Every structure is written in C-alpha cells, then in structure tokens.
Amino acid sequence: MRFMFSVLIIGALLWGGYWFIGSEAAETSFETWFEERRAEGWVADYSDMGVRGFPSRFDAGFEDLHLADPETGLAWTAPMFQVLALSYRPNHVIAVWPETQRIATPEAKYDISSDDMRASLKVEPQTDLALDVLSLTADALAITDVETGATTRISALSLAAEQTPIEDAPRYRLGLSAQGLEPGADWQRKLDPKGRLPDTLGAVRVDMTVLFDKPWDISAIEDSRPQPRWIEIKSAEATWGSLRLALAGTVAVDAQGIPTGEVMVKARNWRDILELARNSGALPERLVGPIGDGLGMLSQLAGNPNTLDIPLTLRGGRIWLGPAPIATAPVLRLR
C-alpha cells in the first residue's frame, strides 16, 4: 500500500512537471509566432494571452486579438479567441471563436456574429502542423457588410475537410452544408424583384475533392494560401423555393486560377434561374434571349420543358455551351 501511494505521488509530480513545462513551451511558441509576424510587417497584437487548464489541458486564450497581413490585405479582429487541447493529445485542438468578430479584405469589411462557432482540428505531429482533419460548425451565423449594412444569415453551417493524399500530393476532401441561408435583403430584391421566392434557401450542400499546390499547414497563414490545381465536384446543389440547381464535374486549374474542364448542370425551373443570373449581372442582357432559345430547344428535346441536364465546358477563361461562349469563367484563386 505504501509502495502504491509512493508511485502515485511520484506520478503526480512527474505529470505536474510535464504540464508546467508544456504550458511554458506553448506560451513561448505563441509569443514567438506573434513576434515573427510583427518582424515581417504584420499587425499582430493582443492585450492578454495565457495558457491554463492544469492538469489535463493546454488551453490558450487571447484577448483583443488583431491580425493583418500587409501582402494580401486580409485582417481579422476579435475580442477573444481560444485554442483548447488535451495535454496528452496536443495535436488535436478545439478552436473557439467569439460571438462577434470582424474580417477585412481589400474590397470590403464584414462583421460576423454567431451563437457558437468552433472547430475541431487535427494536425500532423510535426513542426509544420499540416492539416489532417477539420470540422467547423456555426449556429445563427450572420455576415454583415460594414459599408452597405447588407446581412446574409445562415441558421446552421457545417464545414468538413480531410486530407486524402495520393503519391504525397496535398489532396483534401471537402464537405459543406448550409441550412437556412437567407441572402441580404438588397441582394434578394435585386435577384428576385417580383418577390416570388421565399426569403430562405432550402439547403446548400457541396461534396468535392481538391488538389492544392501545397499542403494546408502553418505556412498557409504565415506565407501564402495553397492554390487549387484540380477540383472534382462530386455534387453541389442548392434549392430555393421551386428552383433547384445541381453541379458535378472535374476541372484543372492553372497558375492564374483559370479552370479548364467540363461541368454537368441540372436545373429545375431553369427559366427562373436564367432570370436570376440576368438580375445578378452574371449573364449579360444581350445573351439572355439567344441562350434562353437554345436551352428551350434542348429541354424540349429532352422531353421536359422545365428541366435541363446539360454539360458546360470551361476553357480559355470562358464558359461554353456547345460552340457558344456564354459567360466569363470564375478565377479560382485564394487570397
């Protein structure tokens, strides 16, 4: 009995020593990272930082956090931010965001609010902290353009990412689900001036696999974002009232972010979707009539005048329907 008691005491002392050494190392690592960013010209400040959670956790908390990257023009401010980890599994962390935060880009500033935004993040146990598995959720998410006041709301957002490398290539499977997506009022009036659609989209779901030019690791924050080089869209669909749009296909992406490949499009009540594209400015007015006539002929040949099932080709920076270019292809680059 005395022996067992002695073993417990020694074990507790050793574990306590491990925790204090680990917490000091974690705090020093955070401080060093902020100092290095400031040396590179970043804004990287906080009013207070500490590591707590003895004896079973390493919980790092930041207050009045300000980060800004001068090269990309991206900035983030938050009244608090937490990184939580079990002391015996430090490569698996939980990130917790505050109820309010702000993200600024060179084009606009956005205030973001949510009831509960957090992510479970598992990284490889190496110094570059390469992403292995990520799961992010947020409830009652609201994104407000600071200049215009337009607010987009999502009742429940879920994002998942998992590394699935092939021959050491940085490939990730990504999943997105957005429930209760409500576009901003101004944007909705522009898209649907007659008010025929409900305020909220039914569901938005995406399942895709993306090959990047480098892994998602700590350099994605410190240096530059990984860029997509190949995208396989297994399924991407959205419903809005009686409208339904679904996509599937594969594209390659060059160094300028220009996609090349083919995407199959399925659309229900496609004429109304075409009108939305015109209202949003995505489809030039001069093309609405010719494209509508062509799509009408295709839908009649398919036997259902309200439903389309057509391939679109992306090449040369344009989107092609058969031999005709119908729109400019999106540039797929991450800032």
Dist CA 244 CA 266 (whole Å): 8
pLDDT of residue 126: 73
Contact in structure between 123 and 91 (CB atoms under 8 Å): yes
pLDDT string in tens for the chain (335-residue length): 443 444 334 433 333 444 455 556 667 888 888 999 999 999 999 999 887 766 667 788 999 999 999 988 899 999 999 988 876 677 888 999 999 999 999 989 999 999 999 999 998 877 778 889 999 999 999 999 998 888 999 999 999 999 987 777 799 999 999 999 998 878 788 878 878 888 888 889 999 999 999 999 988 888 888 999 999 999 999 998 888 999 999 999 999 999 999 999 998 887 887 787 777 776 677 777 777 777 777 666 655 667 888 889 999 999 888 877 878 898 999 88
Instruction: Give Dmax (Cα) for the chain.
Output: 91
Dist CA 114 CA 112 (whole Å): 7
pLDDT of residue 185: 79
Contact in structure between 102 and 76 (CB atoms under 8 Å): yes
pLDDT of residue 223: 83
Among 217, 211, 224, residue whose Cα is nearest residue 170: 211
Contact in structure between 110 and 85 (CB atoms under 8 Å): no
pLDDT of residue 324: 78
Q: What is the DSSP string of 42-90?
A: -EEE-SEEEEE-TTTEEEEEEEEEEEE-TTT--EEEEEEEEEEEETTEE
3-state secondary structure 96-157: ECCCEEEEECCCCEEEEECCEEEEEEEECCCCCCCEEEEEEEEEEEEEEECCCCCEEEEEEE
Long-range Cβ contact pairs of 177-180 (< 8 A, separation 24 or more): 177/203, 177/204, 177/205, 177/206, 178/154, 178/203, 178/204, 178/205, 179/154, 179/155, 179/203, 180/153, 180/154, 180/155, 180/156
pLDDT of residue 12: 37
Token pair recorded at residue 98: 């505050």
pLDDT of residue 27: 78
pLDDT of residue 15: 38
pLDDT of residue 235: 95
Token pair recorded at residue 121: 């993040």
DSSP 289: H
